[in-house]
């Protein structure tokens, strides 16, 4: 996706974020953006393919917005989690316990990210409500976050170990940059990425990543 396409998607998404209560004009706005791209010489060679790609991106953003995008979806049924993940291009699942401080911090950061990225589906479920997934994913430490692209796991976070490993907090930008690097988010046209700024931990998974995280006891 080139800069022009990124700008178009970014502009369209910002419109939906600013007018989430009224999606009736989204089709008209989509057509106006596509028409503006038609006159750009940069896209002339690949116009049809790229416009089709943009239409798919707009449709995905619209679908997520209509299904409650722009905020965390709190789910109490793990079957529903699996259904949402299977039909979403990019989904993030947070297993949490509300009384754990780090879980509350994670939900707050994810809420902020969801608010600005309608292309991402963000789900939170209490670990005690997801016994099958907790066992399957070997969840031992909370917060526990799994990233999915088209239903396939691409990465996971155990505690704050990949996010700077501060005792009770982390910089939201670090998580957001990680999501960009994994292809979970549409990169803004004015953003560059340096992988060296993201993964500061030496390990990937396991309870030993963050000894100060809350142990899961269910």
**Residues ≥6 apart with Cβ < 8 Å to 47:** 37, 38
pLDDT at 211: 43
How does DSSP assign 122-179, residue by residue? Answer: EEEEEGGG-HHHHHHTT--EESEEEEEETTEEEEEEETTTTTT--SS---HHHHHHHH
32-39 own/partner pairs: CB under 8 Å, 24+ apart: 33/8, 33/58, 34/8, 36/8, 37/4, 37/5, 37/8
Q: Per mean pLDDT, which range of 24-38, 59-73, 113-127, 204-218 is the poorest?
A: 204-218
In sequence order, the 6+-apart residues with CB closer than 8 A to the CB of 131 are 78, 218
Task: Pick the closest to residue 20 from 115, 86, 98 (CA basis).
Answer: 115
Which domains can be identified in the chain, with CATH numbers? Answer: 3-66 (no CATH), 73-215 (3.40.30.10)
Would you call 43 helix, strand, or coil by DSSP?
helix
pLDDT at 51: 73
CA distances from 116 to 22, 104, 105 (A): 17, 19, 18
What is the Cα–Cα distance from 146 to 133, expressed in whole angstroms?
A: 11
| CB within 8 Å of 55: residues ≥ 6 apart | 30, 34
Give the model confidence (pLDDT) of 165-197 as tens digits.
688 899 999 999 999 999 999 876 554 444 434
Q: Can you tell me the distance from the alpha carbon of 36 to that of 29, in angstroms, rounded to the nearest whole number? A: 11
Tokens encoding 77: 């049924």
The pLDDT tens digits for 123-160 are: 999 999 999 999 999 999 999 999 999 999 999 999 99
What pLDDT does 193 receive? 46
Mean pLDDT, residues 91-108: 97
Residue 203 has pLDDT above 60, yes or no: no
Predicted pLDDT of residue 54: 72
Q: What does the mean pLDDT of the chain come to?
A: 78
**pLDDT, greater one: 86 or 57:** 86
Question: Distance between CA atoms of 53 and 201, rounded to whole angstroms?
Answer: 36
Task: List the beta bridge partners of residue 190.
Answer: none
pTM: 0.67
């Amino acid at each position: 996706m080139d800069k022009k396409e990124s700008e178009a998607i970014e502009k369209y998404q910002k419109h939906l974020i600013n007018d989430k209560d009224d999606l009736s004009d989204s089709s008209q706005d989509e057509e106006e953006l596509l028409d503006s791209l038609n006159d750009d010489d940069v896209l002339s060679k690949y116009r049809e393919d790229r416009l089709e790609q943009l239409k798919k991106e707009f449709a995905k953003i619209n679908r997520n917005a209509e299904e409650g995008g722009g905020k965390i979806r709190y789910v109490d049924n793990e079957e529903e989690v699996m259904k949402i993940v299977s039909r979403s291009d990019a989904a993030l699942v947070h297993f949490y316990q509300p009384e754990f401080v780090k879980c509350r911090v994670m939900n707050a950061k994810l809420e902020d990210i969801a608010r600005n990225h309608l292309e991402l589906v963000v789900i939170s479920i209490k670990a005690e409500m997801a016994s099958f997934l907790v066992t399957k994913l070997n969840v031992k430490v909370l917060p526990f976050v799994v990233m999915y692209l088209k239903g396939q796991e691409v990465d996971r976070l155990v505690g704050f170990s990949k996010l700077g490993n501060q005792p009770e907090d982390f910089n939201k930008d670090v998580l957001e940059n990680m999501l960009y690097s994994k292809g979970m988010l549409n990169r803004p046209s004015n953003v560059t990425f340096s992988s060296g700024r993201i993964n500061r931990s030496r390990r990937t998974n396991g309870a030993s990543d963050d000894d100060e995280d809350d142990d899961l006891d269910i």
